Amino acid sequence: MKLLIINGPNLNMLGIREPAIYGTATYQDLEKLVRLTCQNHHINHHMIQSNHEGVLIDAIGDAYGNYDAIIINPAAYTHTSIAILDALKAVGLPTVEVHLTDTKTREAFRHQSYVSQYAESTIMGKGINGYTTAILYLKEKLSKKSKAGE
C-alpha cells in the first residue's frame, strides 16, 4: 500500500500556533508518528506540507497512478477550496480527511468542508492521533478490497 499524506497551511507551525487549540505536538512529532505507524503496518508513505494551494493540488494530481489512497488535512483550505475538492474527484482515490480539532464545535465558518463532499471518512478532534486512525482505516479498507479482488 502506498499512501500520500497531504497537510495544508500553517500545519508547519504546530506546537507554536495556538497550542490551547491545536495542542503542543509539533509537525516533527506528527511526522514521527506517521512514520512509525506506517513502518509498523508495512505501509509506504510520502508526507508533504505546503502553505500554497497550488502545491497541494499538484500533489493530489501527481498521486494518480502513484498512490493507493490519500489522507488530507487541508487546514484552512477545507472551508474555501473547491479546487482541492475537484482535484480529489479527478484522481478518484480513496481519501480520508483529518482535522486536529473538531471543526463543528468552532467558529461557524469552519463548519463547511468542501473536502468532506468527496472524502469517505472525516476524522476530527483527535489531535495528531487522528492520522493513525486514518492510516489504519485505509489499511483495512484496501486490504479488504485486495482480498475481494483475489
Catalytic sites, residue numbers? 22, 99
Distance of CA 59 to CAs 4, 12, 22, 94, 117, Å? 9, 17, 25, 15, 19
DSSP H helix total and E strand total for the chain: 5, 5
**Residue 141 burial (CB < 10 Å; 0-12/13-18/19+)?**
middle
